[in-house]
Structure 1
Amino acid sequence: MNTIEHPDITRMRRYGDLRNDPEFFGFDYFGDEIFFGEEVVEIDGDLVLQDNLQLYLEEVCGAKFYTA
């Protein structure tokens, strides 16, 4: 039987408790770790790593990217 585990618990099991890392800033909308010095975008209160911006715009805002 599979058990359901909270994503924060899974993350701590995999990576340890990052909250004690002085470089750790928080988590972005997708649950990826944000460290001080990384570029983030705030959209309506959601923090998004710049690397995840296109995914956020597609999934949350319904944006479509294409080549003209």
Structure 2
Amino acid sequence: MNIEHPAITRVNQIGYADMAAKEEHQGIDYFGSEILSGDDVVIDEDGEIVLKEDLEKFLAEKYGFKFQTL
């Protein structure tokens, strides 16, 4: 009878999945968020890098842009 937890059996067979699945780190953006390989980024004329998903926040904070629905 095998009473070993399935997660332990899997680690013994293939190793730690988290370590194998780590994406390559490419740096840190304007807000301190980690940039990974394959992330979409925007770079302004001053060289500031921001994740594309945070572009609206960046434009509002750094340049004072206001977003509205008309």
Report the TM-score, using the length of structure 2 for normalisation.
0.65
Using the size of structure 1 for normalisation, the TM-score is: 0.66
- Aligned pairs for 1:1-68 (under 5 A) are 23-43=24-44, 44-68=46-70
Q: Which has the larger Rg?
A: 2
Equivalences, count = 48
Q: Identify, as 1 or 2, the structure richer in helix.
A: 2
- The one-letter amino acid of 2:24's match is E
Q: Give 5+ residue unaligned stretches, structure 1.
A: 1-20
Unaligned runs of 5+ in 2: 1-21
Distance 1:52 1:39 in 2: 10
| Large movers: runs of 4+ above 6 Å | none
**How much does 1:22 deviate?**
6.0
Aligned-residue sequence identity (percent) comes to 46
Question: For the aligned residues, what is the CA RMSD?
Answer: 1.2
